[in-house]
Amino acid sequence: MIQLTQTVQKGGCAAKVSATELRKILAQVQFPPNDQNVLVDGGLFDDAAIYKITEDLALVQTLDFFTPIVDSPRYFGEVAAANALSDVYAMGGEPKTALAILAFPLATMESQVIVEVLQGASDKIKEAGANFVGGHSIDDDTLKFGLSVTGVIHPQKVWSNSQAQVGDDLILTKSLGTGTICAGLKKQTYKESELSEVISSMSTLNRIRDLLNAEQLAAIHSATDITGFGLAGHGYQMASASRKTFRLYSSQVPMFSLAMTSLQAGNLTKAHRTNAHYVESNARFKITDPLRRQIFFDPQTSGGLLLAVNPRHTNEILKKLSQRFRTAAKIGEVVDSQDTSLVIEE
């Protein structure tokens, strides 16, 4: 049986262009001016774009694709779909339509592989209550798959990454460690059958609106999802966009049971290094354990949401989130801007 991770050099969100390099590239591009209905664009590295249609309706638009992060085609489809849909959830929206982006090596893989990938994605899109409406495919040397997703949201209820407030608690909905553990899978240190906890998390939709009431939803001021740039990278972007400092507590950050063991074994990706470089002048670490530092740089695939929440509602929101996200936890708080965007405590 084919093992998809053995067909590519890099897998999942660890294959993203480094944030530092991406910023250099984008700085050289002259983008056309936006019209007045563009409420959120890519300027602050938010998770999706927001375009206002009426006073009560706006579109949420995003696109995400990558190479295989797991070995089984159906699991790959599920994870890729959950990862793409997550961008809409991170903005507070609800996905409505999805288009597939597919690159497939026709000469070296059986068509049944892509049937399974598409079926896994289709199942997740159905679970999200969205519609799978088409896509585009090319013949390529390596398998790549993802979705372009359009959702809807009220223009006044967007969770951008720029609205965190001083005093907010920071909640993370999923455990960390997919980068190092899936690197171990690619090295064949682990078997896919040993990673049910990780695969289940990656394929879990970051859907939370259905768990919370209107007051609890309004208590969420800002959000982002944690993917290829790691908790440190995405946390830095959210703190910087909000012009605040995030104080994170290492001891409170949820991790998969294999995460520290895998880091100790040296299962790293290029993204661990580039993520560390990205935040080196914007994060102050007060922890001495190098492995504890590495977990903040670990590139997540279909990771959790990082939410900035009114502290009066933290406990009740966590209680509701735990129905779907067993390891959801408060991991820090938002404070006035300091000399760095992130302060990471023991």
Q: In this structure, what token pair is assigned to residue 138?
A: 């090319």
**Structural domain that includes position 330:** 169-345
Structure pTM?
Answer: 0.96
Structural domains of the chain, count: 2
225 shares its domain with 264: yes
58 shares its domain with 112: yes
pLDDT of residue 176: 98
14 shares its domain with 118: yes
What is the C-alpha to C-alpha distance for residues 295 and 261, in angstroms, rounded to an integer? 11
97 shares its domain with 213: no
276 shares its domain with 129: no
pLDDT per residue rounded down to tens, the chain (346 residues): 678 988 887 777 777 888 899 999 999 999 999 999 999 999 999 999 999 999 999 999 999 999 999 999 999 999 999 999 999 999 999 999 999 999 999 999 999 999 999 999 999 999 999 999 999 999 999 999 999 999 999 999 999 999 999 999 999 999 999 999 999 999 999 999 999 999 999 999 999 999 999 999 999 999 999 999 999 999 999 999 999 999 999 999 999 999 999 999 999 999 999 999 999 999 999 998 989 999 999 999 999 999 999 999 999 999 999 999 999 999 999 999 999 999 999 9
pLDDT of residue 127: 98
Tell me the pairing of strands 57-66 and 94-104: unpaired
Task: Look up the CATH number of the domain holding residue 13.
Answer: 3.30.1330.10
Angle between helices 230-242 and 290-297 (to 10 degrees): 70
Would you say residue 70 lies in a domain? yes
Q: Does residue 143 contact residue 103 with C-beta atoms inside 8 Å?
A: yes
pLDDT of residue 305: 98
Would you say residue 324 lies in a domain? yes
Would you say residue 163 lies in a domain? no
Q: Does residue 237 contact residue 310 with C-beta atoms inside 8 Å?
A: no
225 shares its domain with 118: no
Would you say residue 311 lies in a domain? yes
Would you say residue 41 lies in a domain? yes
Half-sphere exposure of 163 (CA within 13 A, CB side): 20
20 shares its domain with 138: yes
Task: Look up the CATH number of the domain holding residue 278.
Answer: 3.90.650.10
Last residue within a domain, chosen from 103, 123, 153: 153
Would you say residue 161 lies in a domain? no
Please tell me whether residue 201 adopts helix, strand or coil conformation: helix
The residues with which 96 forms a beta bridge, in sequence order, are none
- Going across the sheet that includes 342-345, the strands are 220-225, 305-309, 169-172, 329-335, 245-249, 342-345, 283-285
DSSP string of 57-106? EEEEEEEEEES-SSSSHHHHHHHHHHHHHHHHHHTT-EEEEEEEEEEE-T
Q: In this structure, what token pair is assigned to residue 81?
A: 């779909």
Residues making up the chain, counted from first to last: 346
Last residue within a domain, chosen from 123, 153, 183: 153
pLDDT of residue 14: 74
pLDDT of residue 314: 98
What is the C-alpha to C-alpha distance for residues 301 and 241, in angstroms, rounded to an integer? 22
Angle at 333 between CA 328 and CA 336, to 5 degrees: 160
Q: What's the Cα-to-Cα distance from 262 to each of 1, 55, 200, 300, rounded to whole Å?
A: 25, 49, 18, 14
39 shares its domain with 136: yes
322 shares its domain with 191: yes
DSSP code of 140?
A: -
Please tell me whether residue 149 adopts helix, strand or coil conformation: strand
120 shares its domain with 49: yes
What is the C-alpha to C-alpha distance for residues 268 and 294, in angstroms, rounded to an integer? 9
296 shares its domain with 175: yes
Last residue within a domain, chosen from 153, 181, 210: 153
174 shares its domain with 133: no
pLDDT of residue 2: 77
Would you say residue 162 lies in a domain? no
| Active-site residue set | 13
Would you say residue 158 lies in a domain? no
